[in-house]
């Protein structure tokens, strides 16, 4: 068996996104011990940088040592006790995964189902809360990666609190890509991923828990069902009130990568990162509209970092993605679940949200769709996006 | 906040071990998509290479997307159903963690406690099996990382099978460091880590499940309590009978690292790796004995890759480790749990199991202990080890 040399792709799917070369370089630095004083110092910096990215002063802010799905599970297994009722607003794949998590933790999920592609409707969540006064938690996805819909987290959190519930927010795709203010909005528990708008390799899940969430965890009558994700054990390693205790061996080099990605974010500035995502999204949108592609999500709820468009009639969506990958080394995403075969998901996340990628992607899609005689207006997209950039 | 540049340590603790520069270089290769055909091809190779390392043809052989502790949890949450009785042989820290896992999965742990530092006693396990004819699983640690004791896995597996039990084996520290034959010995489920004798960065846990284990999983009456670690879902992503389905985003770059580490192992040859570990251990042992340090574990059960020695009377063990780290950039391990403050753990794992490290470590420990007026015989260790190598 031989060494593996991956092709150099441009990653414009739903994540992983293109990783900044500075972050890749950090991944290759010498491994040191997970209890080495220098490593512990770096972990403290990661915590501070994550607090910056989440806009929080929560002490319980850290990176779970596994991908975003484990961050989701970390929130649910710690906060949901057997018998707890959880209102889950579902508007895509990941709300369904939340339901699985609630049920596997012994809770009852009250599902508030939405059309895929729509944002979560606060009115419908309120109805569910009124009908379930014993609900303890509200959970929703801030930025639905499967459809590209952004929900109004601030309003939903206030609503949940008004009904005496804690909230769990999925910010896997939103963190660093759109406005997200954990403390100001009062979010109790939140999880994210590293491979979206932070543009670090996957393998870690940033999480943050407010004191309100910790109070519920400390009052648990049963042990957390996962030893690996038991927050009180994990926190003993990440520091806090007590001396650092060995819990598990952290993914050391991946943490180097996350640290560097967060340093890059701080250098740019969080709000500037949000603006850049919005700006490149606008250029891509101009191009897609010139081409005649239709967005899945209505304009006011579109995620700038994840652009879902409908596959034109009669076009073999998988064949388009294959040609983009094979002829352009360009990855865009397919639809998931109910959206499979019907949409493409074009990511402009983190380091990948830039002018070059927007123009390259529009040109590549224009060429491939044109060659396949798809019902689009060929030849207009790149020019339109370039005009947008010039005008700005 | 600035970029983080770790110091260059020599890692001779209980893991992580020194990572081969080839593996570090692999970590920094461009990230590609977790469903990219090239990535999928690499995952197939990782599976084949893990089958080689585990000496198995088990189809269900893969790397869990999180460190060894999650691999342990993956085995227990999939195999233990509520009410199941599990005989756990404990002879160190990690047997205790198994107990936690059994109980959090709703099972009952029948603990067979051993003196720390001793190998698991098949006679005592047999007694427990006779006393608990309803036991369904036997679990033990092949190579106890907290004490350096090697247990006779082959005998223990046969014993468990004779009593109608499946076995779960912790091979976190044993894989690639000592003889381990999953198929020949009939191991039903096994987990390991990447940061020990494979010398890759931490963040993944190689696991393998025999058809016998899969039968029990398929016959479960309840859902696996962890969505993230549910083997039937994970396997849909790692391939097998069906088309690859998205489950979670794998730690892509860390998998590049594991792939390269396994290629390095295959180039050397598994049995040669075992021999190298034994050889360097013998040299270190000669040195330690010349110095007057005593091993915790009796000679016939010592792990070559983890050498636990007692701290001499009156010596401040933490001060010795600090001086080794600060003056020599050398990391050795402290004791865990009941062994804290009483022992050092000197690892010779994977890439770190080499002549240079043995001689360097002996020289450094000799110098530091000598300078602290510890009751040792100074000046003899390095020469003795060098003689051992010359004679070979």
Task: Kindly state whether B105 is in contact with chain A, defined as any CB-CB distance less than 8 angstroms.
Answer: yes
Is B210 within a domain? Answer: yes
Q: Residues 6 or more apart from A356 whose CB is under 8 A from it?
A: none
Contact across the interface for B331 and A8, Cβ inside 8 Å: no
Contact across the interface for B260 and A4, Cβ inside 8 Å: yes
Contact across the interface for A22 and B3, Cβ inside 8 Å: yes
Is B319 within a domain? Answer: yes
SS3 B275: helix
Q: Residues 6 or more apart from A315 whose CB is under 8 A from it?
A: A369, A372, A374, A375
Record the tokens describing residue A217, joined without a space: 């965890």
Same domain, A89 and A161: yes
Same domain, B193 and B244: yes
Q: Residues 6 or more apart from B175 whose CB is under 8 A from it?
A: B53, B54, B192, B193, B196, B197, B198, B206
Same domain, B147 and B254: yes
Of A15, A22, A227, the CB nearest to B73: A227
Same domain, B43 and B155: yes
Is A30 within a domain? Answer: yes
Mutate to test the interface with A, among B32, B232, B267, B323 (most CBs of A within 10 A): B32
Split into its structural domains, chain B has a count of 2
> Full-prediction pTM beyond 0.90?
yes
Of B13, B19, B228, the CB nearest to A73: B228
Smallest Cα–Cα separation from A281: which of A348, A196, A365, A350? A348
Which of residues A228, A249, A267 is at a domain's end?
A267
The least confident of A185-194, A234-243, B248-257 is A234-243
Q: What is the pLDDT of residues B126-173, one digit of tens each?
A: 999 999 999 999 999 999 999 999 999 999 999 999 999 999 999 999
Which of residues B252, B267, B282 is at a domain's end?
B267
- Domain residues for the domain of A360 are 270-391
Contact across the interface for B6 and A29, Cβ inside 8 Å: yes
Which of residues A267, A296, A330 is at a domain's end?
A267
With contact defined as beta carbons under 8 Å apart, do B167 and B156 qualify?
yes
Is B136 within a domain? Answer: yes
Same domain, B243 and B289: no
Distance between CA atoms of B260 and B198, rounded to whole angstroms? 10
Report the alpha-carbon angle A28-A30-A33, nearest 5. 125
Is B9 within a domain? Answer: no
Q: CATH number for the domain including A369?
A: 3.90.1150.10
Same domain, A183 and A107: yes
Give the chain B residue nearest A172 (alpha carbons).
B249
Ordered DSSP codes for A103-135: HHTT-EEEEEE--TTSPP-HHHHHHHHHH-TT-
Contact across the interface for B227 and A266, Cβ inside 8 Å: no
Same domain, B178 and B319: no
Q: CATH number for the domain including B156?
A: 3.40.640.10
With contact defined as beta carbons under 8 Å apart, do B343 and B293 qualify?
no
Smallest Cα–Cα separation from B59: which of B251, B239, B205? B239
What distance in Å separates residue B222's CA from the closest CA in chain A? 10
Is B236 within a domain? Answer: yes
Same domain, B381 and B290: yes
Residues of A in contact with B33 (CB under 8 A): 9, 11, 13, 16, 331
The reported pLDDT for the residue numbered B74 is 98
Same domain, A216 and A82: yes
Is B4 within a domain? Answer: no
What distance in Å separates residue A77's CA from the closest CA in chain B? 9
Whether pLDDT at A164 is above 80: yes
Q: What is the pLDDT of residues A292-347, one digit of tens each?
A: 999 999 999 999 999 999 999 999 999 999 999 999 999 999 999 889 999 999 99
Same domain, A277 and A262: no
Per-residue pLDDT band at A78 (split at 50, 70, 90): very high
The reported pLDDT for the residue numbered B242 is 54
The reported pLDDT for the residue numbered B243 is 67
Is B6 within a domain? Answer: no
Same domain, B348 and B201: no
Same domain, B205 and B67: yes
The reported pLDDT for the residue numbered B235 is 86
Task: Kindly state whether A73 is in contact with chain B, defined as any CB-CB distance less than 8 angstroms.
Answer: yes
Strand B10-12, strand B189-191: pairing: unpaired
């Amino acid at each position: 068996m031989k060494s593996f040399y991956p092709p150099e792709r441009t990653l414009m799917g739903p994540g992983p996104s293109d990783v900044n070369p500075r972050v890749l370089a950090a991944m290759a630095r010498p491994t040191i011990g997970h209890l080495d004083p220098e490593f512990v110092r770096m972990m403290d910096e990661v915590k501070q940088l994550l607090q910056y990215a989440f806009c929080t002063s929560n002490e319980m802010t850290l990176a779970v040592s596994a991908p975003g799905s484990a961050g989701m599970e970390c929130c649910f297994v710690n906060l949901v006790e057997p018998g707890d009722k959880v209102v889950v607003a579902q508007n895509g794949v990941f709300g369904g995964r939340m339901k699985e998590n609630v049920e596997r933790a012994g809770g009852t999920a009250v599902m508030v189902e939405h059309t895929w592609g729509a944002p979560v409707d606060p009115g419908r969540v309120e109805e569910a809360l009124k009908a379930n006064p014993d609900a303890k938690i509200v959970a929703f996805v801030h930025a639905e990666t499967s459809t590209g819909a952004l929900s109004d987290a601030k309003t939903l959190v206030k609503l949940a609190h008004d009904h005496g519930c804690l909230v769990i927010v999925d910010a896997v795709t939103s963190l660093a890509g759109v406005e997200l203010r954990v403390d100001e909005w009062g979010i109790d528990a939140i999880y994210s991923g590293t491979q979206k708008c932070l543009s670090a390799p996957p393998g870690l899940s940033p999480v943050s828990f407010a004191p309100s969430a910790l109070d519920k965890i400390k009052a648990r009558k049963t042990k957390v069902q996962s030893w690996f994700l038991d927050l009180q054990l994990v926190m003993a390693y990440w520091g806090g009130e007590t001396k650092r205790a060995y819990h598990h061996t952290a993914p050391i080099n991946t943490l180097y990568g996350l640290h560097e990605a967060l340093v890059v974010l701080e250098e740019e500035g969080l709000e500037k990162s949000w603006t850049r995502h919005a700006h490149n999204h606008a250029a891509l949108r101009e191009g897609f509209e010139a081409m005649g592609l239709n967005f899945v999500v209505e304009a006011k709820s579109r995620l700038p970092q994840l652009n879902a468009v409908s596959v034109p009639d009669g076009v073999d969506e998988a064949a388009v993605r294959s040609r983009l990958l094979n002829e352009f080394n360009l990855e865009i995403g397919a639809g998931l679940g109910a959206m499979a075969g019907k949409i493409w998901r074009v990511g402009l996340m983190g380091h990948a949200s830039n002018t070059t990628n927007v123009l390259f992607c529009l040109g590549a899609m224009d060429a491939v769709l044109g060659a396949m005689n798809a019902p689009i207006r060929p030849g207009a997209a790149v020019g339109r996006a370039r005009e947008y950039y010039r005008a700005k």
